Amino acid sequence: MSSSDMPLATVPTAASPPLRHGPPDIAIFVDKVTKSFPVTLSAGAFVRYRGRVPRRTVLRDISLQVQRGELFGLLGPNGAGKTTLLKMLATLCIPDAGQIVVAGIDARRNPGAVKRKIGLCTSEERSFYFRLTARANLRFFGSLMGLYGRFLEQRIVEVARLVDLTDALDRRFDTFSSGMKQRLSLARAIIGDPDIVFFDEPTRAVDPLHAREIRTLIRDEFVNRQGKTAILATNILEEAWSLCDRVAVVHDGRIVAQGSPQTLDAQFTLSTRYHVVLSHLPPELPASLRSIPGVLRVTAHPVPEGHKLVIEFHRDEASVDTLLRVLVSYGGCILSLRSEEPQPLDVFLEVTQYGGPR
């Protein structure tokens, strides 16, 4: 055998352990991260701007921490920067500035080690092979994660059962509905049994029944039972409020509010609504209520019992006692009185449109 035909010897080398950062109870640490993209990638623009193509900043000075075993929400409208942030956490793109640490590993210095700790559920259909079956797709992506043989086949069956795709495993991907494709993306994200899972709008294009099952799977199975860490990017207010331990509201590339849903309710919902049902409504009463300092709006409409008033007032400027005194002074018989709990939409509008408490 000639020397050119001889196989090359491989010298085993000890892999250096990934650098670890931060306390062990922090799963994700993001510090002052900024990201921008060129406004265009055309060759003409490159020449026109002499290699300095203008850039559009999509994330500005992002900082957050996610505890191990926490379900953390990224809530914001389309285009707010949620997906870009998830891609940076998954090491699919690099920040312009700032630091990202995932599972104690610096994401910029050791992206390969980070990838072995995470799963990513996206809504991008093009990341699958359209002419392969669901089983073949999962087998391919599972092998990229280091799974093989009987264990891989067992994991395919397990994750397919979790996302209700058992009967569709041997169908080609291009025959799937939008909701089935989304559930297959979820199966791919968890097939490697990662410690941390990123969910980018996992219930988009999914029917209500399967959307409820996916939410239950994320909250009850992954987080509560298995103790995994999850980040959920969504533009569905009720989804973030009902599922997440804490929520960061992202608007125009910035985190404009952060905390538990209960904390955000208390911090940003500064008005209170009361629903009052009266036996009869004196004509002058609504105007008199509107004249009280701190009252924001008063609406009235008839109901079978009489008339219903909805009174909204700034809780720091008007009191229920004042409202009741005015109601009683007009001789109205109060049949019922109840307060309305703050709604996620109220908080979201307060944060994104008005920039915080007014």
pTM of the full structure: 0.74
Residue with tokens 């919902």: 269
The rounded percent of the chain whose pLDDT value lies above 70 is 86
Size (the chain), residues: 358
304 and 172 belong to one structural domain: no
- Between 353 and 119, the more confident residue is 119
55-60: long-range pairs with CB below 8 Å, 24+ = 57/253, 58/84, 58/253, 59/33, 59/34, 59/35, 59/84, 59/85, 59/88, 59/95, 59/253, 59/254, 60/34, 60/253, 60/254
**Domain CATH for 285:** 3.30.70.100
What are the residues whose beta carbons fall under 8 Å from the beta carbon of 216, sequence distance 6 or more?
Answer: none
Which pLDDT band, with edges at 50, 70 and 90, does 349 fall under?
A: low
Confirm if 250 and 80 have CB atoms less than 8 A apart: yes
- Between 50 and 309, the more confident residue is 309
- Lowest mean pLDDT: which of 55-64, 111-120, 306-315? 306-315
108 and 234 belong to one structural domain: yes
187 and 298 belong to one structural domain: no
Asked, for residue 104, whether it belongs to a domain, the answer is yes
Strand, coil or helix: 313: strand
The Cα 335–Cα 119 span in angstroms is 55
Q: What is the mean pLDDT of the chain?
A: 86
pLDDT tens for residues 213-270? 999 999 999 999 999 999 999 988 889 999 999 999 999 999 998 999 888 877 766 6
Predicted confidence at residue 123, as pLDDT, reads 78
Residue with tokens 């699958």: 128
pLDDT tens for residues 31-51? 999 999 988 877 777 777 777
Confirm if 19 and 11 have CB atoms less than 8 A apart: no
End-of-domain residue from the set 196, 227, 259:
259
- Between 306 and 343, the more confident residue is 306
The Cα 12–Cα 9 span in angstroms is 10
What would the two tokens of residue 106 be? 């610096």
Asked, for residue 353, whether it belongs to a domain, the answer is no
229-234/97-102 β-pairing: unpaired
Highest mean pLDDT: which of 150-159, 323-332, 337-346? 150-159
Confirm if 323 and 311 have CB atoms less than 8 A apart: yes
211 and 158 belong to one structural domain: yes
- Lowest mean pLDDT: which of 155-164, 241-250, 281-290? 281-290
Asked, for residue 3, whether it belongs to a domain, the answer is no
Mean pLDDT, range 82-106, rounded to an integer: 95
Range of the structural domain that residue 30 is part of: 26-39+54-259
275 and 302 belong to one structural domain: yes
327 and 229 belong to one structural domain: no
The Cα 94–Cα 35 span in angstroms is 8
**How many structural domains are present in the chain?**
2
